[in-house]
Amino acid sequence: MTKEFFTVTPQEEVFELIPGFKTVGKETVSLQETCGRILAEDIISGIDVPGFARATMDGYAVRAASTFGASESGPAYLTISGRVDMGCTSNINIGPGQAARIATGGMLPKGADAVVMIEHAAEFDETGLEVYKSVAPGTNIVAADEDFSGGQKVLAAGATIRPQEMGLLAAIGKTGVKVFKKPLIGIISTGDELVEIDREPSPGQIRDVNTYSLFGWTLRAGARPATYGIAEDNYEHLLEICSRALYETDMLLISGGSSVGIRDLTLEVIAALPDSKVLIHGIPVRPGKPTILAKARDKAIWGLPGQIASAMVVFDRVVAPFIGHIGGNALFSEKNYRIPAILTRNIPSVHGRTDYVRTRILEKNGLYYAEPVRGPSGLIRTMVEADGLIEIDMNTEGIEKGEQVSVIALR
**Contact pick of 200, 236, 275, 400 for a second copy (by CB under 8 A):** 200
In the complex, minimum distance from the CB of residue 59 to a second copy, in angstroms, rounded to a whole number: 8
Of 125-133, 200-208, 244-252, 278-286, the segment contacting a second copy by CB under 8 A is 200-208
Cβ pair 294, 14 in contact under 8 A:
no
**Contact pick of 111, 150, 178, 212 for a second copy (by CB under 8 A):** 212
Regarding 198 and contact with a second copy (CB under 8 A), the answer is: yes
Per DSSP bridges, beta strands 184-190 and 251-255 are parallel
In the complex, minimum distance from the CB of residue 107 to a second copy, in angstroms, rounded to a whole number: 4
Give the x-and-dash track for 2-41 against a second copy (CB under 8 A).
-xx--------------------------xx-xxx-----
In the complex, minimum distance from the CB of residue 211 to a second copy, in angstroms, rounded to a whole number: 7
Nearer to a second copy (CB atom), residue 96 or residue 167: 167
User: Within a 10 A sphere around the Cβ of 312, how many other Cβ atoms?
Assistant: 30
Give the contacts of 278 (CB within 8 A, at least 6 positions apart): 267, 270, 271, 292, 293, 294
Give the x-and-dash track for 214-253 against a second copy (CB under 8 A).
xxxx-xx------------x--------------------
Interaction residues for a second copy, span 328-347 (CB under 8 A): 334-335, 337-340
Distance (Å) of CA 176 to CA 170, 223, 224, 376: 10, 21, 21, 48
Regarding 192 and contact with a second copy (CB under 8 A), the answer is: yes
DSSP letter for each residue of 166-225: HHHHHHTT--EEEEEPPPEEEEEEE-TTEE-TTSPPPTT-EE-HHHHHHHHHHHHTT-EE
In the complex, minimum distance from the CB of residue 237 to a second copy, in angstroms, rounded to a whole number: 14
Task: Quote the longest CA-to-CA distance of the chain.
Answer: 99
Nearer to a second copy (CB atom), residue 20 or residue 36: 36
Nearer to a second copy (CB atom), residue 279 or residue 375: 375
Phi, psi of 123 (to 5 degrees): -85, 125
In the complex, minimum distance from the CB of residue 61 to a second copy, in angstroms, rounded to a whole number: 13
**Contact pick of 75, 82, 106, 183 for a second copy (by CB under 8 A):** 106
Give the contacts of 384 (CB within 8 A, at least 6 positions apart): none
**Contact pick of 279, 368, 371, 394 for a second copy (by CB under 8 A):** 368
Nearer to a second copy (CB atom), residue 107 or residue 296: 107
Regarding 167 and contact with a second copy (CB under 8 A), the answer is: yes
DSSP letter for each residue of 241-261: HHHHHHHHSSEEEEE---SHH
Tell me which amino acid residue 396 is.
T
| CA-closest candidate to residue 405, choices 365, 374, 363, 371 | 371
In the complex, minimum distance from the CB of residue 346 to a second copy, in angstroms, rounded to a whole number: 21
Q: Angle CA(134)–CA(54)–CA(73) in degrees, nearest 5? A: 15
Give the contacts of 114 (CB within 8 A, at least 6 positions apart): 61, 62, 63, 64, 67, 135, 136, 137, 138, 139, 140, 141
Peptide bond between residue 284 and the one before it cis (omega within 30 degrees of 0): no
Interaction residues for a second copy, span 43-102 (CB under 8 A): 49-52, 54, 56, 58, 85-90, 101
Give the x-and-dash track for 265-304 against a second copy (CB under 8 A).
----------------------------------------
**Contact pick of 27, 41, 146, 391 for a second copy (by CB under 8 A):** 146
Distance CA 128, CA 60 (A): 12
Nearer to a second copy (CB atom), residue 90 or residue 98: 90
